[in-house]
Structure 1
Amino acid sequence: MVDMEVNIVISRDTIKPAADRSLLHAHQKPCNLCIFDQLIPATYVPVIFFYSIVDPNFNVPKTLVHLKTSLSHTLTHYYPFSGRIKNNLYIHDFDAGVPYLEARVECRMFELLELREIELLNRFIPFHPFRKETESPDQLPLMAFQVSVFACGGISVGISLSHKIFDMETANTFFKSWASVFRRDHKAAITSNPNICQASSTFPASDNLPQKYLAFMESMWFEEKKYVTRRFAFDAKAINTLREKAKSDLVPNPTRVETLTCFLWKHATFASRHGGTSRRASVIAQAMNLRRRLKPPMPDDSIGNLFWWATAVYNPTDEAETTYKLCDLLKLLHESLNGLEHDQFLDTLCGEEGRRVFFEYLDQLLEGMDSLDPTPEIYAFTSWVNILDEVDFGWGKPFWIGVMGKVGPAFRNLTVFVKTQRGNGIEAWVTMDEKQMSIMEKDPQFLAFASPNPRILHV
């Protein structure tokens, strides 16, 4: 790895809401978590926006000051994000603030991108990504920022988001609002005020959440292994070819993300089995945004972890492994999606009575996982494809969106999908066991469609 100097030479700060402190304490009660927030372990999700600055009159000092002041004003509307979680039930202490770092990078942005060493990306975010946080959640900030200024133009904005309150839809709502405030686009900023309470009122938290559910969720998220993260790109042609292979009578028009999800699931499982690393059953867990699936739909600006997992099991016999097709996996995934949406199942989870239904559902999941011996491998997938790329501070859309260099040592298999820099392709940021990854990276059937860590073009 090439050594790159990223020095925190400008400032370390804590940004707090700009509103009068007495107003915060007088009018804003603790913000309750929803049941999905409660169940998610404490860990930080990373995202890094890279902006190429070509304006010769770009004023760096003025820009850095305005980023902080606009963030402070944005936090006035999103005051829970400046607080701390108490007893895994609610957010309070809204005046605690968020860590904010400013860094100077002693190279030009395109020189960093030319290296294509994604391990370097962790130097551009405040906290290590997807690490199992052992510090008391009451002490952990809910978000943190690092703004890095490159030599000869270019800025990156790296954010670490606590998964205890943020899913990526929540993050996207906040990012766009902050960018609007920075641009002094008051109309956009006013119309993007968040819906703070709807998640907790629709899916209320439990005052006495059974420990078995917390332990189960932690086991689903973390498993001690030596993980690596790799970036693969799929261009439009490759995706369209795979979609044709994935079609069936049951799924006549698979989406791009569904298709790539099952393609990666298939090859990850193949690498595990044929590399001798495991003979365990393979479970897919695809993050599913609940907002638009509810009846009536919940607003997109509702904050909190309003997603759940669509799960399916792939455990073919040795004889069937070579004949199991991509369309077969798409059928499994759609059966899972349809099961969650069948007969308004999601709507039965709402309210106080819905919490009892949800616990019964979790008990079924526990029984199902216990029935699989040995414990199955779990592959999680989440898509950021239709979000994040509209975060414009007035410098244009992000030139490139980076995810992460290396996850914490215990985080399970995860794939994050984002749009490619150009064209209509998709990048897959894949975290997997190191031995398993080395097998998949050499699989010619996988490489026929996936381009490993392609060059990032600079403007």
Structure 2
Amino acid sequence: MVDMEINIVSRDTIKPAAAATSSLHPHQKPCNLCIFDQLIPTTYVPMLFFYPIIDPNFNLPQTLAHLKNSLSHTLTQYYPFSGRTKDNLYIHDFDAGVPYLEARVECRMFEVLELQEIELLNRFLPFHPFCKETESPDLLPLVAFQVTVFACGGISIGISLSHKIFDTQTANIFLKSWASVSRRDHEEAITSNPNLCQASLTFPVSDNLPQKYLAFMESMWFEEKKYVTRRFVFDAKAIATLREKAKSELVPNPTRVEALTCFLWKHATSASRHGGTSRRASAVAHAVNLRRRLKPPMPDNAIGNLFLWATTIYNPSDTGETTDELCDLLQLLHESFNGLDHDSLDALRGEDGRRAIFEYLDQLLEWMEILDPTPEIYAFTSWINILDEVDFGWGKPFWIGVMGKVGHAFRNLTVFVNTQRGNGIEAWVTMDEKQMSIMEKDPQFLAFASPNPRIMNV
């Protein structure tokens, strides 16, 4: 029996390096959010990194002390992350600091990974993932850490990132910066310094953001249901086959993520309609990084929620059919991606852009009122080709996990993560429990998806 009791041995608050405190004085002016930050409800995104330690000369106390010290120095450059939000407009109080927990568990890392019980993963995170945070957001930290040491020296780093300021790329640049400082790669640390102002200058906040938009966005993120999270792995062969099935004359070379998104969309809606005659519309909302789609492109180190949801809807009542070819769904998805081009995004810049964003939200509100019943919404986000380089000096992560279970109120969400071996993709799927129980028994789904295989094998 594996002892999975995790003991918190210390709780600290890490602040920007004391030696650099004086350099923060010029920055006491609050750091503005951008309008996309404003519109996102306060909730924590989880990320988990597992590192086996096999070096017999590994000095654990020294490593743990250095990890905290390197985080403090990293926060000197990323000082907004050490602050607190104010009135959903800006970040201030940069000396508030970030929670930092150290924990011990009396079992080996590979014993935990062999259990294949992803529900246990939340024990390695400082905050519960994707909860509807009801506490005043002005009091909540923007990021928190839990470093857990396993018997025989393996280490996991669990991170809870507030979606109020972190999108995936922001998390990526910050974690890579911390890792480069930790392994004393000063050249990379300098080149990855953050751009703190570009997002708010390009997409400024609204001093009088209408409450109806905040309420609408919260309803899009959270819905009371009994959700479960499952991990499915698609190997390289399965992905190649699905890409072949999904291609068409209009989209001759679909990406891996596009093919998997539509495959999951297809089977999720099929599970929803199982045993009934429901023709309820379904929609996909796929997170798209805006930085390189803007003209001129915004730098990768621009922090903030610089993404939009590429949305598309399939309404069976329009076609009179309730089954869909993969290639048909992929064409719909591809069109939604193409719609986020630099011309359409340029219209969202500045004061005029804010009005365009409000008009877009009004259209969505109207759209949701017209469709009866309201469509099922499936959200997707990709962590493919990022996060793999988060090397603190002990090598790349052996495995990147996401979470065990979301809060009781959330939405259908799939997170795509690279397998660390074999060029496959892990899909972390959160869905209504009844719907999930149908999909994970569907033989056509299981012909391509492997449910929670041994982590040692992927």
**TMscore range, shorter length:** over 0.9
Contact 1:51 1:400 in 2 (8 A): yes
Structure 2 counterpart SS, 1:85? strand
Deviations along 1:39-74, whole A, 9 cap, x unmatched?
Answer: 000000000000011000111100110000000000
- Counterparts of 2:180 and 2:363, CA distance in 1: 44
- Within a 5 Å distance, the mapping from 1:98-137 to structure 2 comes to 98-137=98-137
Residue of structure 1 equivalent to 2:11: 12
- Within a 5 Å distance, the mapping from 1:175-186 to structure 2 comes to 175-186=175-186
Structure 1 counterpart SS, 2:340? helix
Structure 2 counterpart SS, 1:240? helix
- Counterparts of 1:259 and 1:372, CA distance in 2: 27
**1:354 matched to 2:353:** yes
Residue of structure 1 equivalent to 2:191: 191
Q: 1:125 to 1:277 in 2, by over 3 A?
A: farther
- Counterparts of 1:246 and 1:88, CA distance in 2: 42
1:278 Cα deviation from its structure 2 partner: 6.0
- Within a 5 Å distance, the mapping from 1:6-405 to structure 2 comes to 6-9=6-9, 11-19=10-18, 20-276=20-276, 279-317=279-317, 320-322=321-323, 324-341=324-341, 344-405=343-404
- Counterparts of 2:153 and 2:275, CA distance in 1: 46
1:279 Cα deviation from its structure 2 partner: 4.6
Q: 1:458 to 1:437 in 2, by over 3 A?
A: closer
User: How does the TM-score come out when normalised to structure 1?
Assistant: 0.97
1:394 Cα deviation from its structure 2 partner: 1.1
1:276 Cα deviation from its structure 2 partner: 4.5
Contact 1:42 1:162 in 2 (8 A): yes
Which residue identity does 2:185 align to in structure 1?
D
1:422 Cα deviation from its structure 2 partner: 1.0
- Counterparts of 1:246 and 1:279, CA distance in 2: 23
Q: 1:380 to 1:3 in 2, by over 3 A?
A: farther
Moved over 4 A (4+): 275-279
Which residue identity does 1:12 align to in structure 2?
R
Deviations along 1:224-269, whole A, 9 cap, x unmatched?
Answer: 0000000000000000000011001111110000100010001000
The answer to which of 201-210 and 24-33 deviates more is 24-33
- Counterparts of 1:279 and 1:223, CA distance in 2: 21
- Counterparts of 1:215 and 1:432, CA distance in 2: 22
1:370 Cα deviation from its structure 2 partner: 1.4
Which residue identity does 1:100 align to in structure 2?
Y
Which residue identity does 1:428 align to in structure 2?
A
Q: 1:319 to 1:458 in 2, by over 3 A?
A: closer
Aligned residues: 456
Structure 2 counterpart SS, 1:156? strand
Contact 1:275 1:439 in 2 (8 A): no
- Counterparts of 1:263 and 1:42, CA distance in 2: 30
Structure 1 counterpart SS, 2:392? coil
Contact 1:268 1:436 in 2 (8 A): yes
1:314 Cα deviation from its structure 2 partner: 1.3
1:375 Cα deviation from its structure 2 partner: 1.4
Contact 2:223 2:411 in 1 (8 A): yes
Structure 2 counterpart SS, 1:159? strand
Which residue identity does 1:230 align to in structure 2?
R
1:453 Cα deviation from its structure 2 partner: 0.1
- Counterparts of 2:277 and 2:43, CA distance in 1: 27
1:2 Cα deviation from its structure 2 partner: 6.8
Root mean square deviation of aligned Cα:
1.5
1:431 Cα deviation from its structure 2 partner: 0.1
Which residue identity does 1:333 align to in structure 2?
L
Contact 2:280 2:316 in 1 (8 A): no
The answer to which of 169-178 and 277-286 deviates more is 277-286
Counting aligned pairs with the same residue, the percent is 84
Which residue identity does 1:457 align to in structure 2?
M
Structure 2 counterpart SS, 1:218? helix
| Structure 1 residues not aligned, in runs of 5+ | none
Q: 1:287 to 1:90 in 2, by over 3 A?
A: same
Q: 1:363 to 1:68 in 2, by over 3 A?
A: same
Q: 1:395 to 1:2 in 2, by over 3 A?
A: closer
1:386 Cα deviation from its structure 2 partner: 1.0
Contact 1:118 1:405 in 2 (8 A): yes
Contact 2:202 2:349 in 1 (8 A): yes
Structure 1 counterpart SS, 2:455? coil
Which residue identity does 1:107 align to in structure 2?
C
Deviations along 1:201-232, whole A, 9 cap, x unmatched?
Answer: 00000000011111111011000000000000
Deviations along 1:109-139, whole A, 9 cap, x unmatched?
Answer: 0000000000000000100000000000100
Contact 1:275 1:436 in 2 (8 A): no
- Counterparts of 1:363 and 1:202, CA distance in 2: 22
- Counterparts of 2:218 and 2:278, CA distance in 1: 21
1:364 Cα deviation from its structure 2 partner: 1.1
Deviations along 1:268-291, whole A, 9 cap, x unmatched?
Answer: 000001154965211100000000
- Counterparts of 1:3 and 1:321, CA distance in 2: 48
Contact 1:246 1:327 in 2 (8 A): yes
Which residue identity does 1:191 align to in structure 2?
T
Structure 2 counterpart SS, 1:259? helix
The answer to which of 252-261 and 268-277 deviates more is 268-277
Q: 1:354 to 1:403 in 2, by over 3 A?
A: same
- Counterparts of 1:23 and 1:455, CA distance in 2: 48
1:3 Cα deviation from its structure 2 partner: 6.0
Q: 1:113 to 1:275 in 2, by over 3 A?
A: farther
- Counterparts of 2:265 and 2:431, CA distance in 1: 11
- Counterparts of 1:216 and 1:264, CA distance in 2: 26
